Amino acid sequence: MTAVLPRTRSTGPVLALVCAAQFMVILDASIVNVALPAVDHELGFGTGLAWVVNGYLLTFAGFMLLGGRAADVFGHRRMLTGGLLLFSAASLVAGLAQTPGVLVGARVAQGVGAALLAPATLAVINTTFTEPGARARAFGAWSASGGVGGMAGAIAGGALTSGLSWRWVFLINVPIGAALIALALASLTAATRRRESLDVTGAVTGTAGLAALIYGVMGGGEHGWTSPWVLAPIAGGVVLLVVFVAVQARVARPMMPLRLFATRGIAVGTLMLLLFGGVTIAMWYFSSMLLQNALGYTALQAGLGQTPAAVMFVLVARVAAGLLPRLGVRPLILAGAAAFVIGFVWLSRADGGSAYLTAVLGPTLIIAVGIGLTFPTLMAAATAEAPDGDAGTVGGLANTAGQVGSSLGLAALTAAGHEFLIAAGLAVAIAIVGLLLRPSRV
């Protein structure tokens, strides 16, 4: 039986809901970084401190395909509120944790909650905003909310840790999550549950394969790329993903229907989002490292130094949302790719003797223009053609592509060096792949 799509009483509260949820998910990926020294000092992590961040990112990326399909089967409102509930409860446990193991476990649970939540927000946008202009504006607002979350992370993390305690970088999510659950229950109407079960074999192989692959990639910098601790999970992840694809081709109700990739917008948009993940990690992570390692900034100063670019991204994303229905996806993608190339080539010239205004601020503002033009455009291109009943699955696929691209991009760019020039090359690849899209508007 086909699920009844969620209907809304008003689109305003729905847009506020999905934007606030996206803000919270992205904020939590970055707000913890500044608090890590204080966490280590109080709980005594030692070498395992990185898992306070990696535990969240690993399950966030690994479980999104499952979260997207679950949203289609069980209903978008159920999975959105369920994800918020798990995320908020795990935040409470993290904020009260007294041992490293409890904190890492709570972060893992937070990542699962985020993985259930994020695809549902995209599904809600696609099923609520059906008029192209309204959908484009919703994607622009959703994208900008993520940018604000990323921008606020370092600043809010530093302020909360310095003014209150590191515990408040987690506890702050509890009242926010409670308010969003109430808003979701008030603004979304529950869908009828489908009379079908999840593809258990696909869920296990797909989720485990992604998690193993990302786990191996995360360990490359620490253990070396020839270490068994890296090669074994990468190889295992690849094998599991091959099995996953084989299962999806045979089962009657797959977790990730392969027929979706016959839709050009979904296939091409997903590939571009995979490449885009490497571009964004080069911008936010490596420019932060440039500010700290070459220019001698503190983590908080580096966050403030990136704030103008984050503001630019938010502003341009809103403009791109207005242009998308009129221009279509190709012009915005090509313009964004051109901005990436110019900005990254310029940024590659920075060194320890460079001035912030001319060597960092200028190019990062240009790159931020590129992100603002391309991110909402790519998300719209990758999800706009989602068939009825598959909006959550397609949203999970789009989110997974971006997260996996960031994880693989971080590992590859760190190992290769010349990260800004390689990012410029990825931008050229996005432009070339983008030519495969139909010139139609979304």
Whether residue 327 contacts residue 377, with contact meaning beta carbons closer than 8 Å, is answered with no
Which of the two residues, 5 and 371, has the higher pLDDT score?
371
Q: Are residues 278 and 241 in the same domain?
A: no
Q: Are residues 177 and 275 in the same domain?
A: no
Of 176, 194, 212, the domain-final residue = 194
Mean pLDDT of 372-379: 88
Mean pLDDT of 341-365: 90
Residue 186: pLDDT over 80:
yes
Mean pLDDT is highest, among 28-32, 106-110, 278-282, for 106-110
Whether residue 354 contacts residue 295, with contact meaning beta carbons closer than 8 Å, is answered with yes
Q: Which residues contact 38 (CB under 8 A, 6 or more apart)?
A: 161, 165, 166
> Quick one: pLDDT at residue 439?
64
The CA-atom distances, in angstroms, between 119 and each of 35, 77, 247, 305, 354 are 28, 11, 22, 31, 41
Q: Are residues 272 and 187 in the same domain?
A: no
Q: Is residue 1 part of a domain?
A: no
Mean pLDDT of 319-336: 88
Q: Per residue in 44-82, pLDDT tens?
A: 877 677 778 778 877 887 788 888 888 878 888 888 999
Whether residue 372 contacts residue 315, with contact meaning beta carbons closer than 8 Å, is answered with yes
The domain total for the chain is 3
Q: Is residue 4 part of a domain?
A: no
Q: Are residues 250 and 261 in the same domain?
A: no
Residue 368: pLDDT over 50:
yes
Give the dihedral of Cα atoms 119, 124, 125, 127; nearest 10 deg.
120
The phi-psi region of residue 298 (left if phi > 0; otherwise alpha if psi is between -120 and 50; otherwise beta) is beta
Q: Are residues 212 and 189 in the same domain?
A: no
Other C-beta atoms closer than 10 Å to the C-beta of 48 total 14
Half-sphere exposure of 101 (CA within 13 A, CB side): 0
| Domain CATH number, residue 64 | 1.20.1250.20
pTM of the shown model: 0.78
Q: Is residue 242 part of a domain?
A: yes
Lowest mean pLDDT segment, chosen from 6-10, 213-217, 432-436: 6-10
Q: Which two tokens stand for residue 32?
A: 């913890």
Q: Per residue in 106-157, pLDDT tens?
A: 999 998 999 888 888 888 887 788 777 787 788 778 878 877 787 777 677 7
> Quick one: pLDDT at residue 221?
66
Q: Is residue 138 part of a domain?
A: yes
Q: Are residues 139 and 230 in the same domain?
A: no
Q: Are residues 320 and 392 in the same domain?
A: yes
- Domain region containing 403: 257-442
Whether residue 343 contacts residue 359, with contact meaning beta carbons closer than 8 Å, is answered with no
Mean pLDDT of 329-338: 92
Q: Are residues 80 and 143 in the same domain?
A: yes
Q: Are residues 318 and 237 in the same domain?
A: no
Q: Is residue 2 part of a domain?
A: no
Could you tell me how far CA 276 lies from the centroid of its own chain? 11
Q: Which two tokens stand for residue 387?
A: 């068939």
